[in-house]
Structure 1
Amino acid sequence: MNAEPVLAVYAGYSLKGAYVKPGPDLAPYVQDALDEIEYVTGPATSKWGSLRAKAGHPAPFTLTYVEVGNEDFFDRSGSYDQRFAQFNTAIKARYPNLQIISTVGFEHPENQRVRSVTPDVVDEHYYRTVDAFLRAARGQYDKYDRKGPKIFVGEWGAYETPFEPWNPRSRGEAPTPNMRAAIGDAAWMTEMERNSDLVIMNCYAPLLVNVNPGARQWRPNLIGYDALRVYGSPSYHAIKLFATNVGDEILKANATDTDVLVSVTRDSRSRTLYAKLVNPGNAASPVQLQVTGATLRPTATALTLAADPQATNSIDAPDRVVPVTSQVTGVAPGFTYTVPANGVVVLKLGLR
C-alpha cells in the first residue's frame, strides 16, 4: 500500500470519565508507549525490536507521527493538558524527530486544548451535515494561524440525514452515504486541499462496514462489504478522485459569482493542472476558468461524478453512482466549463 502508520497510544483516559492522574500514576502508561514505539521502529537487536523481528518483520517500520490518546476532549477533569505534556516530554527525549499529535483540536474550547506545551499537530474530528460542510468549505482554515500546530483531520464525514449518525434512527438508514453526502465530502476536501500547507493529513471515518443485517455499529461508512462482495459509496468515489488526481503545488484559485467550490493543484513533473469543481446545486453551473501565467493544451480530460442527490450504491447495485471520463475540447484562456448539478468534476488540464 506504500502507507505509513500513525501510531496512537493510550493516554490514560477511558470512556465514562475514568482517567489516570498525571505524574507517577501515569508513568507506567508512558513507558508502555515508549516500548510500543521501540517495537515499531527499533533495530532487531533491541529488546522490543527483536520481538518484532521474531514476529516476521525484521526491518523497522517508518514512523513519523504518534498521537497521544483519542478524543480526550471527553475528559471533563481537565487532566489532558498535563497527561499530554508527560507523554510529549518522554517521547521527545528518546525520539526527538517524532511528531506528537494532540487529540484535542481547535474545534474545541481553549480550556480543553493542550496549553502547557505546543503540540506538533492537533487532531480535529468533524461529523457534520452536508450544509455545515458546505459552509466550512468556504474558508474555515483561512483563519488558522500558520505559525501554530499543523492539522490532522483524523475523523470526518458528511451525513445527509436530519439526525446525527449516533441517533438510533440511523439504524434504519442505508449503511453507506448517498450522492448528497458525497457533495458535502467533496466540498470539504476542496477546503483541506486548498489549505494543505496546514492540513497535512485527513482520514474519513469509518472506512468499512459489514452490510449484513445487524452487523454494523454506525453510519455512514465509506465502503460496504459482505462475505463475497464489496462496493464503494459515492463518497468513496469522490475521495478517490481527489486522492488520485493531485499535484505537488497548491495554486491560488478564486471562484466568483458561482456556488461552485474549487481547488487547483499543479504537478510540476507531468505539467498537469488538476482543477476540482464541486457543484452543490440542483442545476448545472457554467464556470469560466481563467488561468494566468501558463498556456493550456487545447484538450483536457474530465472525470465526473454526478447523480440525483438521493442516488447511492449498494451491495446489489455497486455501480449506480460511479465516475465517468470524457474529453474536453476548446480549452483556452477564459473558456467555460459547465459543472453538472450535484456534481464533482476533476479537470486534468495539460500545460504546454
Structure 2
Amino acid sequence: MIATLGSSGLASAQNATARIDIDASRIENTIPATLYGSCMEDVNHEIYGGLYNQRIFGESFEEPAGSPDLVGFSRYDGYWTAKKGILHVDRCGGAKLVFDEAVISDGYIETEIKFDNAKGVNAGILVRVSEPATGGHSFNGYEISIGNNGKSCLLGKLRHNFEMLKEAKADFDPLKWNKLAVRTTGSRIEVMINGKTVIDYDDVVNPILSGNPGIRIWDSDTSYRNFFYEINGQKTAIPFEAVPSPMVSSMWDAIETGSAKASFAQDTKQAYNSKCSQIIQKKSGTGQVGIANRGLNKWGIGIKQGQKYTGDLYLKGAYNGMVKVALQSADGSKEYAVCDLTGITNKWRRFSFDLIADATDTNARFALYMEGNGKLWVDQVTLMGTGSDLFHGLPFRNDIGQAMVDQGLTFLRYGGSMVNVPDYKFKNMIGDRAKRPQYKGNWYPYSTNGFGIEEFLQFCEAAGFVPSFAVNVGETAQDMADMIEYLNGPVTSEWGKKRAEAGHPEPYNVKYIEIGNEEVIWGDIRKDYEKYIQDFNRIYDAIKSKDPNVEFISAAWWRPDSPENMKMVFDALDGKASYWDYHPWADDNHLGSHVEGELREMKDYFLKWNPATKMKCALFEENGLTHDMRRALGHVTIQNAARRMGDFMLTTCAANALEPYMQNDNGWNQGQIFFTPSLVWGMPPFYAKQMAAGHHKPFRVFTATEGDLDVTAATDERKNEVVVHVSNVHDRTIKTAINLKGFENPSKIKVIFLAGDKKEKNTPEQPERIVPQEKMLYHTNDLKYEFPANSYTILIYQK
C-alpha cells in the first residue's frame, strides 16, 4: 500500500522527544551483501515434510508400528501401551493423550505418576484442552507437570505456544507413584502433589475456561495409573484400555475394506533400504487390503486438479495380481487418480508411476492396495510433484522455495544440531536416493538422506543464495577430502566424475564450510575444546589439500567469560578459521545492544590475542521460541548491531528458515516462513528481513541519536539514496526530529514500516495481518516524524 503523507505520521517540533542526526558524507564502515541470511536445518521438519518435495513421510517404513489405540483417547505423538490398568509411554518430546469423552470447566482431575528412570524432563496432566494436534505445543489449554528430578512443578498455558505461568519447588520421589491433582474453578487453578498444594494461581489475563482433560510427557519414560475426574461431586474413573492396532509402520494407515481379511507386519530382515520393510497380506474375502500415507505426521497431502505426480516404490512378494497406487481423499471414499502395477516377483523391483489428480484436495492421501489374495513387501516409496510444483525443476516445493527467494535472502546456512549425530555423513547423502540409508537424527529418529548437502547446494544455486553448510566433526579425513573433490573438483578427478555422473558436471564452487555445530556447548571443558581443535585440524587439512580456496568457520561454543579456553581455541585456529560462529538469543525486542556488546567484546579479544588477525564472526543462528512481532524487532535490533560491526560480520542468519504449521514437536517455535500442505506465508520476522534485504546499501554513514530509538543509515557509491533503519521497541509512539546533511537536494522520502502488538503473528486465515506498509512524504529541513509503537521503519531519502 502506498499513500502520500500529509500530517499523518508527522510530529510537531514542540512535541518531538527524540532526535536523529545523519551525515551521509561520513562513511563509517562497509556492510556486507551477505548480511541477510537464514539458518535451515531439519529441526521442525523444515526439509523432510517441508522444502523437500517428497510427499511421503515415512518412506522407508523405519518408524515402528503405532502404539495401540486407547479407549476414549486421541493420541498425538508418542508410543503408548496399557496393561492391567497401567499406562506407559516412551520418552518423546511433547507426546500427549487427550480424553475425548469429557469437557470440563470447573472440576477436579487426579492421576498417579511414576517416572520409569532418572532420565528425562517432566510429565503431567493437561486440562481444558482444545484444538489438539501433533506437535509438542500444538493445542490450547493448561499443562501441569512434575519434574523428573523430583524437585519441581510447573503450570503452563498453551495457545499453540508455551507460556510459563508458575513454577514451584516440590519434594517427591520421582521413581515412586505420586498423586498429581488439579482443581479448576473459573480462572483459578490449584495444583496438588500427594495432597499438598504447591501452586495456587489465578489466570486473570485471557484465561482458558473449558476443554478436555489429558496427559502429556516431555522426553521422559513415564507410567500412569488411577486417572479420574470429578464434577459437582460426581467421580468418574478413566480406565486405560488398549485396542490392538495393525502392525503398520506408524506414519502409515492400514486399509482393509469390505469382507477382506488381512495381516500386516514389519520385516526387519528383508528390507530393500535400511532396516525395515512393510508386509501386506490379503488372506481372504472381498475388498481392498493395503496401506495409506497422509504426509508429514498425517496432516494430509495437498494435491491440485490437473497436476501430475510421479513416484517410485519397491515391491516383491507372492502375488500374481495387480497392485494399485492412488491418490484418494483422507478416508479413501474418493479416488482422484490411480495407476496399476503388475509383474511382482520374489525379488525386489522398482516400479515407477504417474498420477494426474482429477480434483483439488488439501487433505489427500497416497494409497497402495491389492484386491486379490497374496503377500507383498513394500519399501522406499516416493511421491513428487512435477512442473510448476517444483522449484526450478528440482525436487523442492516451489511455493516454499519461491517464498525464500521473495524474502530477499542473500545467504543460507545449512547446519545446526542435525549434524551432531554419528550417522550424519556426506557419503550417505549422495547416489541413488532409494539406496541412501536412513539414520537416527537429532531431531527426528528416522531421518532421511533424500535431501543432503548436495541438494542444499543445488537449491542455493537455483535460488541465488551464498551457501554454507556444516559437517560432522567425526567425519574422516579421507571422506572429507573426497567430499570437497566431489563438490569442487574437476570432472576429470575421481570424485568430480561421480558428481558429473549424478547430473551436475560443473563444480559447485563451495566457499564456506563450518566444522561442527555448537561444539562444547555442554560445558566449559578444556579437554573437549582440545578435542574439537584436533577434529577441526583433521578436517581442515583434508579439505585444504584438495581445495585451498575454501574458507572455514569454527563451531567452538563462544564463551567470553572463559578467556583462557577461548584464547587456546583462537591460537590454534587463527589463520585457519576465517570466522567464529556465534549464536545469540533473539526472542526479546531489546537484544540488539546486548548482542552488539558481545560482538565488540569478541572483536576486542581477537585483536588483543593477535593484532594482525583476520578472523571475523559469522552469526549463524539467532535463536528463540517465538515468531511474532517481538521476535521481528529482536532481529531488527541485531541487524542494526551487525551494520555497526561492518565487515567483521559475514552474515546474520535468523533461525529457523521454515516451520510447518502446528507440527512443532520440540519447542523451537521460531519459523520465519510457515507452511501447510497447500499454503505458504511469512511471519513478522520474514517481513523484517525482506525489508532490510530489499533496501541494502553497502556503506554505513554517521548517525547520532537522542532518545529511545535504534538507528543506522547507509548509502551506496552513487549516493542517489540514503536508507535509514529505525527500530522502536517500545509500546509507545516516539516523536522524532530528523536532520540529514551531506545528501544534496533530497525530495521525496519513501517510508516503509512494519508495526503491531508484540505478540501478533500471521495465520493461515490472516496471512497478511502484519505486513509492511508504505507511505510517501516530502523532505523538509526540520522534518519531524512519529515512529509507531513496536515498529521497524525504513526511510528512503531520494534525490
Q: Distance in 1 between matches of 2:646 and 2:509?
A: 22
Higher RCO (CA-CA < 8 Å; seq separation 6+): 2
Counterpart in the other structure of 1:125: 583
Q: Secondary structure at the match of 2:500?
A: helix
Q: Which structure: greater helix fraction?
A: 1
Residue pair 1:304, 1:323 contacting (<8 A) in 2 also: yes
AA aligned to 2:470 is: A
- Residue deviations 1:308-342, cap 9 Å, x none? 2222111221110000111021x144522221111
Counterpart in the other structure of 1:16: none
Q: Distance in 1 between matches of 2:696 and 2:571?
A: 35
Counterpart in the other structure of 2:543: 91
Counterpart in the other structure of 2:469: 7
Residue pair 2:521, 2:557 contacting (<8 A) in 1 also: no
Mark the runs of 5 or more structure 2 residues left unpaired by the alignment: 1-462, 608-612
AA aligned to 1:150 is: K
Structure 1 pair 195–243 and aligned structure 2 pair: CA distance change class (3 A):
same
Identical counterparts, % of pairs: 25
Counterpart in the other structure of 1:30: 477
AA aligned to 1:182 is: A
Deviation, 1:93, is 3.6
Residue pair 1:274, 1:347 contacting (<8 A) in 2 also: yes
Is residue 769 of structure 2 the alignment partner of residue 320 of structure 1? yes
Mark the runs of 5 or more structure 1 residues left unpaired by the alignment: 13-27, 160-164, 166-175
Q: Distance in 2 between matches of 1:185 and 1:235?
A: 7
Structure 1 pair 281–128 and aligned structure 2 pair: CA distance change class (3 A):
same
Is residue 697 of structure 2 the alignment partner of residue 247 of structure 1? yes
Residue pair 1:30, 1:90 contacting (<8 A) in 2 also: yes
Deviation, 1:267, is 2.3
Q: Distance in 2 between matches of 1:277 and 1:43?
A: 47
AA aligned to 1:206 is: N
Counterpart in the other structure of 2:226: none
Deviation, 1:87, is 2.4
- Residue deviations 1:151-194, cap 9 Å, x none? 1110113x4xxxxx4xxxxxxxxxx5111221111111111122
Q: Distance in 2 between matches of 1:191 and 1:53?
A: 43
Is residue 616 of structure 2 the alignment partner of residue 150 of structure 1? yes
Is residue 62 of structure 2 the alignment partner of residue 62 of structure 1? no
Structure 1 pair 96–299 and aligned structure 2 pair: CA distance change class (3 A):
same
Counterpart in the other structure of 2:788: 340
Structure 1 pair 336–115 and aligned structure 2 pair: CA distance change class (3 A):
same
Q: Secondary structure at the match of 1:61?
A: coil
AA aligned to 2:710 is: L
Q: Distance in 2 between matches of 1:296 and 1:142?
A: 36
Q: Distance in 1 between matches of 2:656 and 2:668?
A: 8
Comparing 226-235 with 244-253, greater Cα deviation is found at: 244-253
Q: Aligned residues, how many?
A: 318
Structure 1 pair 34–138 and aligned structure 2 pair: CA distance change class (3 A):
closer
Is residue 649 of structure 2 the alignment partner of residue 189 of structure 1? no
Q: Distance in 1 between matches of 2:596 and 2:785?
A: 21
CA RMSD, 1 decimal = 2.3
Deviation, 1:139, is 4.5
Counterpart in the other structure of 2:593: 135
- Residue deviations 1:223-269, cap 9 Å, x none? 111000011111111111111111121223222x2111111111224
Residue pair 2:619, 2:651 contacting (<8 A) in 1 also: yes
Q: Secondary structure at the match of 2:619?
A: strand
Mapping of residues 220-299 of structure 1, within 5 Å:
220-255=670-705, 257-269=706-718, 271-299=720-748
* TM-score normalized by the length of structure 2: 0.38
Q: Distance in 1 between matches of 2:490 and 2:663?
A: 46
Residue pair 1:10, 1:33 contacting (<8 A) in 2 also: no
Q: Secondary structure at the match of 1:187?
A: helix
Q: Which structure: greater strand fraction?
A: 2
Is residue 752 of structure 2 the alignment partner of residue 303 of structure 1? yes
Is residue 533 of structure 2 the alignment partner of residue 81 of structure 1? yes
Is residue 521 of structure 2 the alignment partner of residue 103 of structure 1? no
Q: Which protein shows a greater Rg?
A: 2
Residue pair 1:253, 1:262 contacting (<8 A) in 2 also: yes
Residue pair 1:10, 1:29 contacting (<8 A) in 2 also: no
* TM-score normalized by the length of structure 1: 0.83
Q: Distance in 2 between matches of 1:237 and 1:342?
A: 14
AA aligned to 2:690 is: K
